[in-house]
Structure 1
């Protein structure tokens, strides 16, 4: 008791129940019930964005008709570079993804020039009379814009399959130059020196598009993309198709943005016709070539 009195006088809390060997309800009340395990709410999917500025090294194979005069075009990238105001087509691609759903956008602008050996006269449209002169050159200013949606319908390990739907808008202005001294009928053409120019003015159309895309993760930071689509269906053009193969490889991250190099090949075919006789415009062409660019994902 002498020791107990000493502890009490020193302010040491001692429970009589504890000294008696029994339970201590006061201490149990102070400690309280054990906390319930925390339940973490599921994290909703968030948007990610990818922006890809490209260069498209264009080649042309097909037929161009301006004011009823047709020319066969067969020009490689090297041929076009010699005569064009732009070395490459400027292309920007953007994708916004949230889980399985994605919004897609793409735009291309180019100003292409092709001369002599890569352009040859082909035919006159019905209703156009006169001598078919030698084609001397073709200049095309072209804008292509795509918008659409994608939805992931299948995934197995590193492979994912998307289905696509959207629209592709075309804007063109084409000038076909002919040798006026060869006896070409120039009543509806512009003449400058020994050349007669068939000018299309502004030509626009819109194609519905459907397609699919395969994304394959080769290794962490390395992705292979294959895309195909078809469109037109007589709504805008008679028919069009597109095929794209691209390989992306990450090379660094800066302030939360992941940068990747992109190399690949893009081929786009379209068959569009409007008007008759001297008002006939036709672009039956395969536009194709390598693409190179840098991707930024955030």
Structure 2
């Protein structure tokens, strides 16, 4: 952590989309943006030796647009919400990732909370719509391969290329609310998706780093299918004396979940900015 006859038509269209899909949410960001410091190793591709524990905290902002199809309260609508509309109607957004690592092993928890609302007037009706969304991912990873690239980073660690398979679960909860002429209606839905994937770390120079990850999940256990991917370019520096990676990139999350009259077949995508601070 953007008005005229066209503006009125745009707001009305957006209001109808929010009523039908209750779908302004998740202006936010990326599971596992916190892998900063490679574990020391003396031999390329060799098993990693044990080292001290490290903890990395990564606050971030994911400015996500939404595209797809949704149904809430039995009303089906096409969802097409640019991130500027989400940010305009944002009441509160909290996003961050916490990673714990020791040697080749690590675990992370990524959380996002977004609350958006809008008050619109269509004809003589005053309509209030809103959406609260929760997105929590937790997983483990293991560095199966690491190759030194020569030289050290500004943090004194070897420059490396590293590959880390990962597995975990992603919990999603959506709560939509509609207020029309004193009548309040709300509906909630939640599901849990297991996922498997991989993470890649590449030290481009002593300061610049490229982090990429992707995972596939759902498998019918929660959603029919979930796809998540991101690429982040990072710059090493210090912040109040702590090793810090300032990051910027792009993330895509696709979810296809259906249960009765509820449907969420939506792709969220957009830029990410943030920082990862190692303690």
TM-score, normalised by the number of residues in structure 2: 0.70
In structure 1, distance between residues paired with 2:257 and 2:129: 17
- Provide the secondary structure at the position in 2 that maps to 1:85: strand
> Which protein has the bigger strand share?
2
CA spacing shift, 1:114–1:58, aligned 2, 3 Å: farther
Is structure 2 residue 228 aligned with structure 1 residue 242?
yes
**Match runs of 1:27-38 below 5 Å:** none
In structure 1, distance between residues paired with 2:89 and 2:50: 53
- What's the counterpart of residue 46 of structure 1? 52
The alpha-carbon deviation at position 81 of structure 1 amounts to 2.4
- What's the counterpart of residue 186 of structure 2? 199
Which of 85, 98, 104 is residue 102 of structure 2 equivalent to? 98
Is structure 2 residue 145 aligned with structure 1 residue 154?
yes
**Match runs of 1:131-280 below 5 Å:** 139-157=130-148, 158-175=160-177, 191-192=180-181, 199-200=186-187, 202-252=188-238, 254-255=240-241, 257-275=242-260, 280=261
Query: Are the counterparts in 1 of residues 50 and 104 from structure 2 also a CA contact under 8 Å?
Result: no
State the Cα deviation string for residues 31-88 of structure 1 (Å, max 9, x = none). Answer: xxxxxxxxxxxx95211111100111121111221121111111111122233324xx
TM-score, normalised by the number of residues in structure 1: 0.66
Larger of the two Rg values belongs to structure:
1
In structure 1, distance between residues paired with 2:223 and 2:273: 28
Query: Are the counterparts in 2 of residues 45 and 98 from structure 1 also a CA contact under 8 Å?
Result: yes
In structure 1, distance between residues paired with 2:118 and 2:142: 40
Q: Extract unaligned runs of 5+ from structure 2.
A: 1-48, 121-126, 149-159
In structure 2, distance between residues paired with 1:281 and 1:198: 15
Which of 80, 87, 108 is residue 86 of structure 2 equivalent to? 80
Query: Are the counterparts in 1 of residues 211 and 233 from structure 2 also a CA contact under 8 Å?
Result: yes
- Provide the secondary structure at the position in 1 that maps to 2:143: strand
Query: Are the counterparts in 1 of residues 50 and 103 from structure 2 also a CA contact under 8 Å?
Result: no
Q: Extract unaligned runs of 5+ from structure 1.
A: 1-42, 117-135, 178-189
The alpha-carbon deviation at position 115 of structure 1 amounts to 8.6
> How many residues are paired up?
214
The alpha-carbon deviation at position 208 of structure 1 amounts to 0.3
In structure 2, distance between residues paired with 1:76 and 1:61: 8
